[in-house]
Amino acid sequence: MHDALFYIFSAAALIFAFLVILNPFSRNAVTSAMFLVLTIGSLAGLFVLLEAYFLAAVQVLVYAGAVMVLFLFVIMLLDLKVEERRGFKGWRRKVSLVAGMFSVGVLLHFIFRSFHQSTLHRDIGAIEGATAPLGQLLFTQYLLPFEIVSVLLLVAMIGVILLSKKDLQ
């Protein structure tokens, strides 16, 4: 059951992520945003499989909720035209093809080599990312970073207000 769910959720996440960047039917930003919501939902499912229940909830609330609403607001505010395809021409095309093939080859080489020497263990631990133990850690050992992050959010809010004023002077 766990295995089947893992394969379903990861296949869904990968397919939806592919449709975000390379949708064959539409180059519309709204379609990409909708598929990004689905990707994030599948990732939340993977988090549940990993027993990180609090993070799965945060993922749905913050990413699929707040962040994606922000994205959709901006897309509709900007009234974008359909993205044009402007390819490279001439020697630039050849150089970029060769460089891309070369870097993919190098990466594949290292990936296969590291899988041969892989020593990743497979025993499942008994840890559970429920709200209570995570909160305990957050308010004892990680109290200072927690407070700093709250200041960061305040700074981001002020920055956004400043940036969206009519005249930036």
Partner 1 sequence: MTKIGLDHYLIVSALLFALGLLGVLIRRNLLVMYMSLEIMLNAANLALVAASRFNNNLDGQVFVFFIITVAAAEVAVGLALIVALYRKRQTAHVEDLTTMKL
CA distance 53 to 44: 9
Q: Which two tokens stand for residue 99?
A: 């460089």
Binding residues among 98-157 for partner 1 as defined by CB under 8 A: 111, 115, 118, 120-127, 129, 133-134, 137-138, 142, 145, 149, 152-153, 155-157
Cα dist from 60 to 16, 66, 73, 101, 104, whole Å: 16, 9, 18, 37, 33
User: CB 137 → partner 1: shortest distance, Å?
Assistant: 6
Interface pick for partner 1 out of 18, 98, 99, 110 (rule CB under 8 A) = 18
State the alpha helices, DSSP H only, in the chain: 2-21, 29-49, 53-58, 68-78, 91-116, 131-140, 143-163
Total residues in contact with partner 1, by rule CB under 8 A = 71
Binding residues among 36-95 for partner 1 as defined by CB under 8 A: 36, 39-40, 43, 46-47, 50-52, 54-55, 58-59, 62-63, 66-67, 70-71, 74-75, 77-78, 80, 83-84, 86
